[in-house]
Amino acid sequence: MIVLGGLLVLAGIVVAVVFGGDAGGWLLPVGMITAGLGMAVAGLVARIRRRIPLLAAVRAHRASPVRSPVARLRALPGMLRATARGRNPALPRYQLALWAAALVYLVSPIDFIPDLVPLLGIGDDIGVGTWLLTSLYAESGNYVAVREQQPEPGARGSA
């Protein structure tokens, strides 16, 4: 699929160079190049996905003893506050800056790859969004697990 996509991109470039605007206008070469890029990206994603046994979110969910996504979602504000105040030793403060930068990148109209480029334009947003959600999901599960293991503030041990 990657090879076929590459050949289609090459054919689109050849049609654009050789025939110029005479071969169906500008739409035919642009369509061929776009379809070729789409096929190549889809083939690359399929190849990478076969090599990754589980998605990162599934691995994070199964690795953590906390199984409830609702518990993770409820713990998110507390985890962010504790990390910002330096009370979460498992998570460095710079991680908050990375999450904030990812959020700003997602909502910002400025991208590394413009959204006008078919398939690739939205691909960087999908990648950043996937990393952000997976990272938040995993860390909130870790935070809930650590919080559940700590004894209650008013509880006494039986000695």
Confidence bin at 158 (pLDDT 50/70/90): very low
Q: Are residues 1 and 38 in the same domain?
A: yes
Q: How far apart are CA 19 and CA 134, in angstroms?
A: 47
Q: Are residues 63 and 115 in the same domain?
A: yes
Residue 4, pLDDT score: 77
Residue 159, pLDDT score: 44
| CA atoms within 13 A of residue 56's CA, in its CB half-sphere | 13
Mean of pLDDT values over 68-80: 88
Comparing 65 with 127, the larger pLDDT belongs to 127
Q: Are residues 147 and 73 in the same domain?
A: yes
Q: Are residues 65 and 140 in the same domain?
A: yes
Confidence bin at 80 (pLDDT 50/70/90): very high
Confidence bin at 100 (pLDDT 50/70/90): very high
Residue 79, pLDDT score: 92
Q: Are residues 71 and 132 in the same domain?
A: yes
Q: Are residues 90 and 40 in the same domain?
A: no
Q: Are residues 47 and 69 in the same domain?
A: no
Q: Are residues 117 and 90 in the same domain?
A: yes
Number of domains in the chain: 2
Residue 90's domain comprises 59-151
Q: Are residues 128 and 71 in the same domain?
A: yes
Q: How far apart are CA 122 and CA 54, in angstroms?
A: 23
Residue 13 lies in a domain: yes
Residue 158 lies in a domain: no
Q: Are residues 37 and 72 in the same domain?
A: no
Comparing 28 with 127, the larger pLDDT belongs to 127
**CA–CA distance from 91 to each of 24, 32, 152 (Å)?**
57, 47, 22
Residue 67, pLDDT score: 64
Q: Are residues 43 and 63 in the same domain?
A: no
Location of structure tokens 């860390």 = 139
Other CB atoms within a 10 A radius of the CB of residue 136 amount to 19
Q: Are residues 15 and 80 in the same domain?
A: no
* 55 has pLDDT over 60: no
